[in-house]
Chain A
């Protein structure tokens, strides 16, 4: 998709593929043929630049034909470079500028919990670790903690990279778990490539009824493509960076197709 589009972000989406598979094929209660189904769970993507992996998961789940994936970032496409709710049924928000997804998720969760008294629906939100630099995130963290938004479950894609380098060099986030706990959140740390751990953590989040839950998912940026893994240069964002050329894309896809058996099941982290 990204090679075809000629621009975009490679590392983040690859690292989040397992989480999105878990979300769209296990965790989220959705009807792809009825995207506005009133009883659905809600998923907000806060780090909008990683939307290619969400598009891929949505297509696989049946929200739209897979052929449409190749229109990513092209004129007239419903698959905008950053997600636009208005254009594609199944998207819950518009995002790109970082730091505002947690607030939107908190607003939805607040409405369910305190205004509509609906307890069987859950609101999930995906954030990148780099975007935790944004002040808006911590405003939302306080708000959700204060209101004990127990139907709110966040994911942090803890891949340790952002555009300018490694997160701890650019603007240190640690002690990340301690930070969220001090804001009143239940925090779970997992291996973000272990499908069982991802599903278990979400399930635990739903079971916690007196606090919001934050799942810190440790992921390998560029997961599955050895020359991309751990290398912030594949994050993408600056001109001419982050997108594989034809040869690189070909090798990357071959490597991804032979991942079977390479993702180890240990390290559930619970």
Chain B
């Protein structure tokens, strides 16, 4: 069964929305479905789109103020009292500032607290490097028990929010501030721990997480014009990885590209490289932040500067494929 893609995907006026908007809707819906869902925010309620939940369930919303360590530890206590707490802030602050509290009182303590890191990536733009969280994937995926999800668009963010509300585990969801094209449809599947083949191909596997999957779809379209039939694999769940889908695609194409709006060191690209180097060693090229910080600028400018646009990625892949023979298992 092929993945249902938005037919307007490549139109100029494709619908765009930030993933955080999908989260806001999903959280409200999760609150309607389950009374145990509560929400805590560190003085960024509207920014992180928690205001929808707050308006619907004022009694179940807790304002913490600018105190991210308290944010997640109060949530841990509420989880011990039987609640399913969602905590939100900018990813730079949570999990950026409060990692040890998350490690001890949520992951080791095995509490089903949900950490919602909004405004992740360089696409935060003008705020600059301090607010452009690029290390969160590495920080969260290293924690035992932690589920890590970077939704590809706002529709998927809504589904992912509903899913983690019911998974009973410590979970991290990574969201973006900026609008990005919606490539999925309401009927597209989402399940924690599953990767999806968005476009089949034989020459190279393009594996993306978060909103970078859209850029890979653009790249694949360009590559098709120059005779490279790329497969696009969307990997919204960075942990646990869908090893079967990833290895099957890699086995088929023999070359793997990864893309993320985060540090490739320790990030999604690392996760894929780790898997492949143990189970199916083959050429891998990772797109993302190459061990540097971001800076102020318009999101589109920054994407160009860091080589993250679909067009730039396509050019790089063409070059790389020329010099990189496909791996064939003997």
Q: Is the interface of B mostly helix, strand, loop or mixed?
A: helix
Residues of A within 8 A of B (CB): 42, 44, 84-86, 92-97, 99-100, 103-112, 114-116, 135-136, 139-140, 142-143
Q: Which residues B47-65 have CB closer than 8 A to chain A?
A: 59-60, 62, 64-65
A85 to B65, CA, bound (A): 28
A residues near B69, Cβ cutoff 8 Å: 99-100, 103, 135-136, 139
A residues near B74, Cβ cutoff 8 Å: 103-104, 106-107, 110, 140, 143
Apart from A100-B105, A106-B74, 6 more pairs, CB < 8 Å:
A42-B81, A84-B109, A93-B80, A108-B78, A114-B59, A115-B60
18 contacts between A and B (CB under 8 A): A86-B108, A93-B76, A93-B105, A94-B108, A99-B69, A100-B69, A104-B105, A107-B73, A107-B76, A107-B81, A108-B77, A108-B81, A109-B77, A115-B38, A115-B59, A135-B69, A139-B67, A142-B65
Q: Would B70 and A140 count as touching, CB distance under 8 A?
A: yes
Nearest CB to that of A123 among chain B residues?
A: B77
Q: Would A143 and B64 count as touching, CB distance under 8 A?
A: yes
Known: A85-B110, A93-B109. A100 touches B101 (CB 8 A): yes
A135 to B73, CA, bound (A): 13
Q: Which residues B72-123 have CB closer than 8 A to chain A?
A: 73-83, 85, 100-101, 104-105, 108-110
Query: Which 8 residue pairs across A and B have the least CB separation, nearest first?
Result: A107-B77, A103-B73, A104-B77, A139-B70, A107-B74, A94-B109, A111-B81, A139-B67
Nearest CB to that of A109 among chain B residues?
A: B77
Known: A110-B62, A143-B74. A86 touches B105 (CB 8 A): no
Chain B count of residues within 8 A CB distance of the other chain: 28
B103 to chain A minimum Cβ distance, whole angstroms, is 8
A202 to B208, CA, bound (A): 56
Nearest CB to that of B70 among chain A residues?
A: A139
Q: Would B70 and A103 count as touching, CB distance under 8 A?
A: yes
Q: Would A104 and B73 count as touching, CB distance under 8 A?
A: yes
B residues near A96, Cβ cutoff 8 Å: 104
Known: A94-B109, A103-B73, A103-B77. A143 touches B67 (CB 8 A): yes
A93 to B109, CA, bound (A): 7
Q: Would A95 and B65 count as touching, CB distance under 8 A?
A: no
A115 to B84, CA, bound (A): 12
B residues near A116, Cβ cutoff 8 Å: 81
The listed residue (B59, B67, B78, B108) touching A84 by CB distance below 8 A is B108
Best-surrounded residue of B62, B65, B79 (most CB of chain A within 10 A): B62
Best-surrounded residue of B65, B79, B109, B110 (most CB of chain A within 10 A): B109
The listed residue (A86, A106, A109) touching B110 by CB distance below 8 A is A86
Q: Would B73 and A140 count as touching, CB distance under 8 A?
A: yes
Nearest CB to that of B73 among chain A residues?
A: A103
Known: A94-B104, A94-B109, A100-B101. A111 touches B78 (CB 8 A): yes
A135 to B110, CA, bound (A): 24
A248 to B98, CA, bound (A): 41
Best-surrounded residue of A93, A103, A107, A139 (most CB of chain B within 10 A): A107
Known: A93-B80, A94-B105, A104-B74. A142 touches B38 (CB 8 A): no
A221 to B73, CA, bound (A): 28
